[in-house]
Amino acid sequence: MAEILHWRVAMARKSAIMMVALLSSACMASSMAGSPAEAQSRRGGTIQPFSEAERNQGAQAHAQILQEFGGEYPGPQAAYVRNVGQNIAVQSGLSTARTDFTVTLLNSPVNNAFALPGGYVYVTRQLMALMNNEAELAGVLGHEVGHTAARHARQRQRAATRNSILGILGTVLGGAIGDNGGLLGSLGGLLQDNAMRAAQLATLGFSRSQELEADDLGLRYLQGAGYDPMALSTMLASLAAQNSLDVRVTGQDARSIPEWASTHPDPASRVRRAQAAASRIGVTGGNTNRDPFLNSLDNVLYADDPRQGVVEGRDFLHPDLRLAFTVPQGFGMMNGTTAVTISSAAGQAQFTMLPGAYGGNLEAYVDQVFRQLGGNNQNALTAGRVQRTTVNGIPAAYASARARTQQGEVDVVVFAYEFARDRAYHFAALAPAGRVAAFDPMFGSVRRLTANDAAAIRPRRIDVVTVRRGDMPAGLAQRMAFRDHQLDRFLVLNALQPNAVLTPGQRVKLVVYGAN
């Protein structure tokens, strides 16, 4: 959550899709027959180069993507990723000029990768940290280029238009979109221009057939660039392991798979398909470039950037804004550049602030949030009287509303806090009718951080170390900068099995605390 926050629906989307979106972004595997692009290739045709319209669409959305995903990562890793991405992208036939592809390493703590029309390809530093060699990076980027080559964004945009983007968003945020299409559907005037629309489409999930087609193309790009095609399956295995670990860490039910993810094969199936597809290519070996990759990855920022606040277990801590809160047991958090999103099966919420200066009137602030949530339909949400209170010495105000949707009645609560005469923040929470009290402990947990508490918050970074004689996973894992699941995190980060035996001279990744 950046110092100046704006309510942007992209953060809700980014949080809700989180690892599932990334798993679909890198679900690298499939049978090698049947895709339109492959059929075209077999007939002797070529991939159609970028059109001017596609270039313009990507260029317009690029700035929005940077804003919503933390901007370009400022470290030397950005140049490394750009070089790998451009090398793999020219294999696609979209262009032979490397500079026609804009490949960006995003400063985001979310495991994600995606592409826009016109040669714009993105991967987050968090996903890069999960990789173990350059071939895995090339595989993820190649998969995304495959989506571009097959014009999946165009197909997805048509489908989104037919099904209503706002309806899709409502499903993600808890099924609150129904007859009251404005309820959460606008969230501050969403989708007002083509750039924002393209940015939203970048993180919508693809269909199963589109994923498999991108898998096929990505594998061929790997082969053409001389990489080991098996890297697709190893990366996917790491993604599946990370997804499973995230479920255990947050206490969420692994069986609670959103309906919008049901079109994708299960992780184990994807790994098997990727292995089989790579074997069918008939190429053995190939480059992995593990050492150059690890050299580049060393010292990269991991998890949250303290300048945007950090998630520590169930606590959100922002050293610059000097605030903190705690989510209830079983709720997950995702920190973004403009908001913190909180979610579980019991409900959804966001913590953010309204754009513009706070005028010093909390009651008016709460009313304004409800007007934004109602969007163009000002009758969608009719809030009760705003109540005043104090939370841990902080002036606060709240109100609630009930709305009828196609999925049943829901309660919406806005809880705002005055941190200074010119600065206020708020939660907007959504739950099935009568169940919004699940958020009460969170509403009451908002507090100020002392100067000492703020100074103690340090960034986490990747530290690539060389295994010494006698080193074992359990011992190295004790150096991981986490309160819990240290060994599990170490194993997943390094794509190791629980019974792994380390070899002296082997290089592994740790997550350690770095300097501010």
Whether residues 385 and 467 fall in one domain: no
- Give the per-residue pLDDT at 176: 29
Helical ranges in 361-420 per DSSP H? 362-374
Q: Does pLDDT of 88 surpass 90?
A: yes
Contact of 273 with 30, CB cutoff 8 Å: yes
Backbone angles phi, psi at 87, to 5 degrees: -60, -40
On whether residue 99 sits in a domain, the answer given is: yes
On whether residue 349 sits in a domain, the answer given is: yes
Paired sense of beta strands 447-448 and 423-432, if any: unpaired
Whether residues 71 and 118 fall in one domain: yes
The overall average pLDDT reported for the chain is 79
Whether residues 291 and 324 fall in one domain: no
Q: Does pLDDT of 136 surpass 80?
A: yes
* End-of-domain residue from the set 247, 263, 296: 296
User: Within 10 A of 437 (CB to CB), how many other CB atoms are there?
Assistant: 13
| Confidence band of 322 (pLDDT split at 50, 70, 90) | very high
Whether residues 233 and 277 fall in one domain: yes
| Confidence band of 44 (pLDDT split at 50, 70, 90) | very low
On whether residue 311 sits in a domain, the answer given is: yes
DSSP output for 211-232: HHHHHHHHHHHHHHHTB-TTHH
On whether residue 316 sits in a domain, the answer given is: yes
Whether residues 401 and 497 fall in one domain: no
| Confidence band of 16 (pLDDT split at 50, 70, 90) | very low
- For the chain, what is the domain count? 3
Mean pLDDT of 449-455: 95
Tell me the C-alpha distance between 22 and 260, whole Å.
13
Whether residues 158 and 238 fall in one domain: yes
* End-of-domain residue from the set 278, 296, 314: 296
On whether residue 193 sits in a domain, the answer given is: no
Whether residues 391 and 286 fall in one domain: no
Q: Does pLDDT of 417 surpass 60?
A: yes
Q: Which of 445, 443, 447, 448 is nearest to 366 (CA)?
A: 443
Q: Does pLDDT of 434 surpass 90?
A: yes
Q: Does pLDDT of 42 surpass 50?
A: no
Write out pLDDT tens, residues 151-208.
876 665 555 444 332 332 233 333 222 233 333 332 222 222 334 444 555 555 677 7
Q: Does pLDDT of 250 surpass 90?
A: no
Task: Give the CATH number, domain containing residue 472.
Answer: 3.10.350
Please indicate whether residue 260 or residue 472 has the higher confidence score (pLDDT).
Answer: 472
| Confidence band of 377 (pLDDT split at 50, 70, 90) | low
Whether residues 264 and 311 fall in one domain: no
- Give the per-residue pLDDT at 339: 87
Write out pLDDT tens, residues 230-244.
898 899 889 889 988
Tell me the C-alpha distance between 429 and 342, whole Å.
9
Write out pLDDT tens, residues 355-368.
888 999 999 999 99
On whether residue 17 sits in a domain, the answer given is: yes
Q: Does pLDDT of 252 surpass 90?
A: no
Whether residues 145 and 206 fall in one domain: yes
CA of residue 389 relative to chain centroid, distance: 35
pTM recorded for the entire structure? 0.76
* End-of-domain residue from the set 405, 432, 455: 455
- 108: which residues sit within 8 A by CB, 6+ positions away? 69, 70, 124, 125, 126, 337
Which phi-psi region, left, alpha or beta, contains residue 26 (left: φ > 0; alpha: ψ -120 to 50)? alpha
- Range of the structural domain that residue 69 is part of: 9-163+201-296
Whether residues 436 and 478 fall in one domain: no
| Confidence band of 312 (pLDDT split at 50, 70, 90) | confident
Whether residues 255 and 278 fall in one domain: yes
On whether residue 235 sits in a domain, the answer given is: yes
- 193: which residues sit within 8 A by CB, 6+ positions away? none
On whether residue 172 sits in a domain, the answer given is: no
Q: Does pLDDT of 38 surpass 90?
A: no
Helical ranges in 251-397 per DSSP H? 267-281, 290-297, 362-374
Whether residues 155 and 24 fall in one domain: yes
Mean pLDDT of 266-281: 71
Per the listing, tokens 């973004």 go with 336
Task: Give the CATH number, domain containing residue 339.
Answer: 3.40.1000.10
